[in-house]
């Protein structure tokens, strides 16, 4: 029998059983996606954070496009952004909490955290009038829009603030660009609620505001947003170890000194009086009203800008602003503040031109220090 070949029994696939397994897997997949779309858990998940528990809270809101270099990333989940921030930690008994909102200049473009306005103010170790230690929280966020500021302020005021400091500039008032910011577009429900609450002259049906149906709320459709939540947590260890949240180049580009002989401002081609169709003063009033409702004083600051002395500087202050438009804006802002009794400070020309970097509103560390020193007596007098 040694020459006989013994053939093993041939296995036969149970196709009906395999079909049942695949069908169950597909049904489970569909149920999970349907449940995810029905519950819409991303905001709730955003509130779950290792920051301020395992890792220290971030010094500024997450923003960055190269996570491996910045230890940071841009996401649009507001609860996750705030949960990762130092503002979310419990308020100390002796703390006078200042919330600082604004644009990329406030956030600190090309600045280490210690060199931002918040960092410089905190380094001065200020004391409020009642003896509490002044702690400033940087809630600035890149891209200029008063509506973006209002959205962030609305959330920030739930964190027991004692004062709001709001630097603004003409570019932030541009009516047509109020809803250009992705953070606004991806938080359309919150934006529409603000439009309705304050009767803002913005269109709640604006096509830039993202409206998602059930199919756009499934786990598959929102997988990038879920991944961003996880990435933010995984970057916490690198942030804790280095304190780096921005990859700052060795050579920072300089703002332009020589300007074009051009009198246009954004979509306004030639000099004329600016109106509320151009400038979103209603959004500014809404921010002041939101702070008042919360019982928190607000200090409005017309932030410093770069003033060129180069070619065509008689026509333009800088690449952002022709003189006629900026002068009109300043006059209107001062009149609005005076008429409403707002606390207002105009420091538009307070910083030397040499202390600006790549844009007319981005300061050097020395320039930011000068600004902090100008604001220090006001904060210490609270």
Note the pLDDT of residue 10: 66
DSSP state for residue 279 in the 8-state scheme: B
Tell me: pLDDT of 313 over 50.
yes
Give every CB contact of residue 212 below 8 A, 6+ residues apart in sequence.
Answer: 221
**DSSP-derived pairing of the beta strands 163-168 and 298-302:** parallel
| Cα–Cα distance for residue pair 243/64, rounded to 1 Å | 14
Note the pLDDT of residue 373: 97
Note the pLDDT of residue 243: 92
Q: Which residue is it, tokens 């210490």?
A: 380
> Are 294 and 339 in contact, with CB atoms under 8 Å apart?
no
Note the pLDDT of residue 382: 63
pLDDT tier at 82 (50, 70, 90 boundaries)?
very high
26-45: per-residue pLDDT in tens?
887 777 677 777 878 889 99
211-224: per-residue pLDDT in tens?
988 888 888 888 89
357-369: per-residue pLDDT in tens?
999 999 999 999 9
Note the pLDDT of residue 262: 97
DSSP state for residue 356 in the 8-state scheme: B
346, 267, 102, 152 alpha-carbon torsion, rounded to 10°: 140
Within the chain, where are the H helices? 15-39, 42-46, 67-70, 78-83, 104-107, 117-123, 146-156, 182-185, 188-198, 223-234, 236-242, 281-293, 323-340, 365-380
Fold entry, domain 43-380: Rossmann fold (3.40.50)
Strand order in the sheet with 163-168: 133-138, 95-100, 163-168, 298-302, 343-346
Note the pLDDT of residue 1: 47
Among residues 132, 136, 110, 139, which one has the least CA distance to residue 123? 136
| Cα–Cα distance for residue pair 318/255, rounded to 1 Å | 9
Note the pLDDT of residue 11: 67
> Are 129 and 382 in contact, with CB atoms under 8 Å apart?
yes
Reduced to 3 states, what is the DSSP secondary structure of residue 4? coil
Question: Beta-carbon neighbour count of residue 322 at 10 Å?
Answer: 22
114-155: per-residue pLDDT in tens?
999 999 999 999 999 999 999 999 999 999 999 999 999 999
| Cα–Cα distance for residue pair 153/167, rounded to 1 Å | 12
Among residues 257, 167, 265, 210, which one has the least CA distance to residue 76? 210
| Cα–Cα distance for residue pair 113/140, rounded to 1 Å | 12
Average the pLDDT over 7-19 and give the result: 71
| Cα–Cα distance for residue pair 171/107, rounded to 1 Å | 16
Of residues 16 and 100, which shows the higher confidence score? 100
Average the pLDDT over 90-118 and give the result: 97
Is the backbone of residue 101 left (phi > 0), alpha (psi -120 to 50) or beta?
A: beta
Q: Which of 211-215, 253-257, 270-274 shows the lowest per-residue confidence on average (mean pLDDT)?
A: 211-215
| Cα–Cα distance for residue pair 116/246, rounded to 1 Å | 12
pLDDT tier at 9 (50, 70, 90 boundaries)?
low
What share of the chain has pLDDT > 90, as a percent?
A: 82
Tokens of 66: 């190269």
Note the pLDDT of residue 349: 98
Of residues 256 and 13, which shows the higher confidence score? 256
Note the pLDDT of residue 18: 78
> Are 260 and 108 in contact, with CB atoms under 8 Å apart?
no
| Cα–Cα distance for residue pair 99/81, rounded to 1 Å | 15
């Amino acid at each position: 029998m040694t020459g006989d070949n013994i053939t093993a029994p041939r296995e036969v696939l149970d196709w009906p059983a395999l079909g049942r397994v695949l069908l169950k897997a597909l049904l489970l997949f569909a149920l999970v996606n349907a449940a995810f779309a029905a519950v819409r858990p991303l905001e709730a998940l955003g509130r779950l954070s290792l920051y301020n528990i395992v890792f220290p809270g971030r010094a500024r809101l997450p923003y960055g496009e190269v996570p491996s270099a910045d230890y940071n990333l841009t996401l649009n989940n507001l609860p996750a952004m705030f949960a990762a921030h130092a503002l979310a930690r419990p308020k100390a008994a002796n703390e006078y909490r200042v919330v600082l909102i604004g644009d990329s200049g406030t956030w600190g473009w090309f600045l280490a955290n210690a060199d931002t306005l918040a960092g410089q103010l905190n380094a001065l170790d200020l004391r409020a009038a009642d003896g509490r230690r002044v702690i400033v929280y940087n809630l600035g966020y890149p891209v200029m829009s008063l509506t973006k500021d209002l959205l962030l302020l609305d959330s920030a005021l739930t964190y027991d603030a004692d004062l709001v400091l709001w630097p603004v500039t003409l570019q932030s008032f541009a009516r047509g660009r109020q809803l250009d910011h992705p953070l606004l577009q991806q938080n359309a429900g919150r934006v529409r609620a603000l439009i309705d609450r304050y009767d803002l002259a913005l269109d709640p049906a604006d096509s830039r505001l993202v409206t998602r149906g059930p199919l756009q709320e499934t786990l598959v459709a929102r997988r990038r947003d879920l991944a961003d939540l996880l990435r933010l947590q995984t970057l916490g260890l690198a942030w804790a170890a280095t304190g780096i949240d921005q990859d700052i180049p060795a050579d920072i580009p300089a703002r332009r000194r020589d300007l074009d002989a051009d009198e246009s401002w954004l979509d306004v081609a030639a000099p004329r009086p600016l109106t509320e169709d151009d400038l979103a003063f209603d959004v500014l009033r809404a921010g002041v009203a939101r702070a008042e409702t919360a019982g928190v004083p607000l200090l409005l600051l017309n932030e410093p800008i770069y003033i060129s002395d180069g070619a065509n500087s008689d026509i333009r202050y800088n690449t952002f602003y022709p003189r006629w438009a900026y002068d009109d804006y300043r006059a209107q802002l001062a009149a609005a503040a005076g008429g409403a009794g707002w606390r207002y400070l105009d420091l538009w020309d307070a910083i030397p031109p040499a202390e600006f970097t790549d844009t007319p509103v981005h300061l050097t560390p020395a320039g930011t220090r000068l600004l902090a020193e100008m604001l220090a007596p006001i904060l210490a007098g609270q």
